[in-house]
Structure 1
Amino acid sequence: MAQRILFVCLGNICRSPAAEGVFRTLCPEVETDSAGTAGYHVGSPPYGPMQAAAGARGINLSDLRARQIKPADFGRFDLIVAMDGDNLQDIEAQRPAGAETPVRLFTDFAAGSGADHVPDPYYTRDFDGCLDLIEAAAQGLANSLR
Structure 2
Amino acid sequence: MFGVIRSAAFARAASRNFSTSSRRASDLAKLTLIGHLGRDPEVKYTKNNAEFVTYVVATSNYPPPPPDANGERPPARTSWHRILSFAENSNKYLLSLKKGSRVYVEANYELREPEPDADPSTPQGQRQIFLRHESIRVLSSPKSTSED
TM over 0.5: no
Q: Which has the higher contact order (CA 8 A, sep 6+)?
A: 1
- Relative to its length, the structure with more helix (as a share) is 1
Tell me the TM-score normalised to structure 2 length: 0.23
Tell me the TM-score normalised to structure 1 length: 0.23
Which one has the largest radius of gyration? 2
